[in-house]
Structures are given as C-alpha cells and as structure tokens.
Amino acid sequence: MSTVDFKQLKSIATEIRKSIIASIHAAGSGHPGGSLSAADILTVLYFHKMRIDPQNPKWEGRDRFVLSKGHAAPVLYSALAEKFFFDKSELLKLRHIDSMLQGHPEMKSIPGVEMSTGSLGQGLSASIGMSLAAKLDKKDTRIYVLVGDGEMQEGIVWEAAMAAGHYKLDNLTAFLDYNGLQIDGTNDEVMRVDPLADKWKSFGWNVIEIDGHNFEEIIDALEKAEKTKDQPTMIIAKTIKGKGVSFMENAVGWHGNAPKKEEAELALKELGGAL
C-alpha cells in the first residue's frame, strides 16, 4: 500500500467527477447521481489495478471491465477519456446525434468499452461469460463488473450469481455500488434488497464490505479478491449517491436529471473547476 499515490488517485477521481457534470450538462440529460457515486471505484480500477492499453484497446491479454448499470455511462466515459482511450472533447458530445457516446455504453463504437449494456442485470451475465472463456483458454485475465443496488431487484442477477458460484469463477470480481437510492426512491421503498451480504454468500461468493469512497479499502479489497481461490468475489461498496457535489448527495432527484447552467457551475466550483 505504501507505493500507492492516494493524492493522485483523489485528483483523478475529481477530474472524472468534473467530466461527469460537464458532459451531462452539455447533453441536457443523463444520470449524475449513480455516476458520481462510482467515480472512486473506477478510478482505482483504471488507474491502479487493471492491465489495459489505451493504445491497443483490443489487446488480448487485457483485463476487462463491464458496467452492468449502463445508465451510469458518464462515469465510464469520463474514466476512459481520462485514461486517453479517446479525446476528452468527445465527452461534451454525450447523447448528441451521431456522437459515439450515447446514453448507454456501446462496444462497437467506443474504444475501451467491453460490453454494450443498459438492460439491467445483463452486464453481470456477460462478465460471467468472459470469466468462463478466460478459464477455458487458461488465461490469467481478470474480469471486473459494476452493478447497482437497484439492479439487485432483477431476477437475472441471481441466475448469474448462481452460475458464477457453481463454476468457481475466482477470476471475477464484482462491485456493488450500494448508494441506497434508485430512480423511484430508496431501495427499501421500491423493493427491499437486504440482506445483500448474506444473499451473495449463500450463492457461493466471497463477500467483502467496504467504504466505496475510501481508496485504501477499495485497493485492499481488490488484493483480497485476487488471493481468493475457487470463489468469485462481491465487493459491497457503501457509497453516497451524487458524491462530491453537496446538493446532489443522497438526493434521489439527481438519479436521472441533468444540471442546468447555474447548477453545473456550482457543482464544478465545488469540485475545483469551471464550466
């Protein structure tokens, strides 16, 4: 842990959050809340953990990341741009006609996107296919996937969880962005998802619970996942929806609303930037 530059990771996460706000404002639509809550997780994956090459996005030996909660595309796009998979100017074309950056990730047109996602629950299933393929090909590729807590209400998630446990996919690590809110309210109001740790354990997963905004805990959990044998790992990351922007934090109304000019300016000012 002593070799990790936590100050640099924090700086990158802030840049990603700035890009999320700027791109969604430019689009006039999008999902800021769940994008901001996942920024620290993607920062660690893309700038500390994963073996990837922006100059060769299809490098066969790369690790893979799947954004199962595809509506949080702005956080993935911002991380990819920050990692130089494409120019950051593309972010301001988010959701525009003829832009490669649409409302959900599309693997055929965006460098670095491994799976087209949007229908909730399917990203986890796709990541299991990737994990099985790596096992069959005897490759040391690791697969990472981010799922949302509202996504736990999808039946396909639990079919996938059962398959991953059955096939002992220890090359698969999932993050659950556990911010407690979804489009229609709190998880408990819409459909209770707890007890999440017990559920994943019962499906044969190694479960680790962390603060999803603590870089040291995120890195430590990833290291533990790599050492775990014969089990996939679920990292339940407790997060704050809208993290980093005071008026968006823990506010369900920011699940899928774009900030207007004054709101974007205020958000960026809090993050140390300008529109």
Encode pLDDT of 166-194 as tens digits. 999 999 999 999 999 998 999 999 999 99
Instruction: Indicate whether 275 belongs to any domain.
Output: no
CB 19 within 8 A of CB 30: no
Average of per-residue pLDDT across 218-234: 98
Instruction: Indicate whether 50 belongs to any domain.
Output: yes
In a 13 Å sphere around the CA of 253, the CA atoms on its Cβ side amount to 3
| Residue 202, domain extent | 6-270
Whether this prediction's pTM lies above 0.95 is answered by: yes
**Closest residue by Cα to residue 232 from 168, 176, 175:** 168
**Residue whose structure tokens are 């074309």:** 93
What local confidence, expressed as pLDDT, does residue 3 receive? 83
Instruction: Indicate whether 79 belongs to any domain.
Output: yes
Least confident of 1-10, 38-47, 53-62, 205-214: 1-10
> Cα(259)–Cα(121) distance, rounded to whole angstroms?
27
Per-residue pLDDT of 3-26, as tens digits, reads: 899 999 999 999 999 999 999 999
Per-residue pLDDT of 251-272, as tens digits, reads: 999 999 999 999 999 999 999 9
CATH number at residue 158: 3.40.50.970
Instruction: Indicate whether 106 belongs to any domain.
Output: yes
pLDDT over 60 at 1, yes or no: no
**Closest residue by Cα to residue 162 from 195, 198, 203, 122:** 203
In a 13 Å sphere around the CA of 33, the CA atoms on its Cβ side amount to 23
Query: How many domains, the chain?
Result: 1
Q: CA–CA distance from 63 to each of 6, 40, 46, 130, 239 (Å)?
A: 22, 18, 10, 10, 24
What local confidence, expressed as pLDDT, does residue 85 receive? 98
What local confidence, expressed as pLDDT, does residue 274 receive? 75
Per-residue pLDDT of 73-125, as tens digits, reads: 999 999 999 999 999 999 999 999 999 999 999 999 999 999 999 999 999 99
Q: What percent of the chain has pLDDT over 90?
A: 96
Per-residue pLDDT of 125-172, as tens digits, reads: 999 999 999 999 999 999 999 999 999 999 999 999 999 999 999 999
Could you give the 3-state DSSP secondary structure of residue 202? helix
Instruction: Indicate whether 1 belongs to any domain.
Output: no
What local confidence, expressed as pLDDT, does residue 273 receive? 82
Return the bridge partners of 172, or none.
Answer: 143
Fill in the DSSP letter of residue 56: S
What local confidence, expressed as pLDDT, does residue 232 receive? 98
Give burial (CB, 10 Å; 0-12/13-18/19+) of 67: buried
CA-based R_g, the chain, Å: 17
Instruction: Indicate whether 172 belongs to any domain.
Output: yes
